[in-house]
Amino acid sequence: KQEVTQIPAALSVPEGENLVLNCSFTDSAIYNLQWFRQDPGKGLTSLLLIQSSQREQTSGRLNASLDKSSGRSTLYIAASQPGDSATYLCAASRNKLIFGAGTRLAVHP
Amino acid sequence: GAGVSQTPSNKVTEKGKYVELRCDPISGHTALYWYRQSLGQGPEFLIYFQGTGAADDSGLPNDRFFAVRPEGSVSTLKIQRTERGDSAVYLCASSWDSGGTDTQYFGPGTRLTVL
């Protein structure tokens, strides 16, 4: 049974810092690994999807890496801004998504 | 439509009542997923459809939960004899196929409160 863990559970940083959010999964037989952002009381917004054959994906200030053999993914956020404050969720996919509990990020000015 | 829509946005009901939650996927998406999210947790898979058929319903917690997608587009999640523990945000998502390689796009969710 796939289990996904995210560390840290919460993070508070000053504006401008570079951040690393961690995600680990127990079953490496995945199709892809997805990162989402969730604002309070809202649905999920897809940030990055890394196919199982890929090592990383980049979008703007975001970079996600995937190491299937070790069951790990990281989301790197460069030059954080207050608008990045949200909960970040990773999900391992084999058709259905198995989510971690998320990392709650607060970026203060 | 432009995105996945869900109705109602909020539903308050009494213990023991029957509720229906509706999901309109992105036009043309053949795969549709239902998830449930409790406060402070990540979403939990319930069921997914490929076209009209349920391809995987292993996440439905018990036989009080049922979902349909009769024409391969709109889906309805049905909960009978609601219990207080059913209170959660119910999220719907859709994607181009169920091969697992495509991004799932989520709706805003329906917040269900069972009193």
Q: What is the pLDDT of residue A95?
A: 82
Answer whether B44 sits within 8 Å of A99, measured CB to CB.
yes
Cα separation, B50 vs B69, in Å, equals 9
Residue B82: pLDDT over 90:
yes
Three-class DSSP category at B84? helix
Which of B33, B48, B108 is opposite residue A43, by nearest beta carbon? B108
Per-residue pLDDT averaged across B94-115, rounded? 88
Q: Determine how β-strand A19-25 pairs with β-strand A10-14.
A: unpaired
* Cα dihedral B58/B61/B66/B70 (nearest 10): -30
Contacts of A70 (CB under 8 A, 6+ apart): none
Q: How far is CA B54 from the centre of its chain?
A: 12
User: Per-residue pLDDT tens for B30-67?
Assistant: 999 999 999 989 999 999 999 999 999 999 999 999 99
Model confidence at B98, in pLDDT bands (50, 70, 90)? low
Cα separation, A89 vs B109, in Å, equals 16
A65 near B CB under 8 A: no
Q: What is the pLDDT of residue B15?
A: 97
Q: Which residue has the tokens 């432009």?
A: B2
Q: Which residue has the tokens 């999220």?
A: B91
A88 close to A29: Cβ distance less than 8 angstroms: no
Per-residue pLDDT averaged across B67-89, rounded? 96
Three-class DSSP category at B86? helix
From the first residue on, what is the mean pLDDT of each consecutive set of 10 residues in chain A (109 residues)?
A: 94 96 94 94 92 94 96 97 97 92 97
What rounded mean pLDDT belongs to chain B? 94
Most B CBs within 10 Å: which of A44, A50, A52, as the mutation test of the B interface?
Answer: A44
A6 close to A22: Cβ distance less than 8 angstroms: yes
Which of B45, B101, B107 is opposite residue A31, by nearest beta carbon? B101
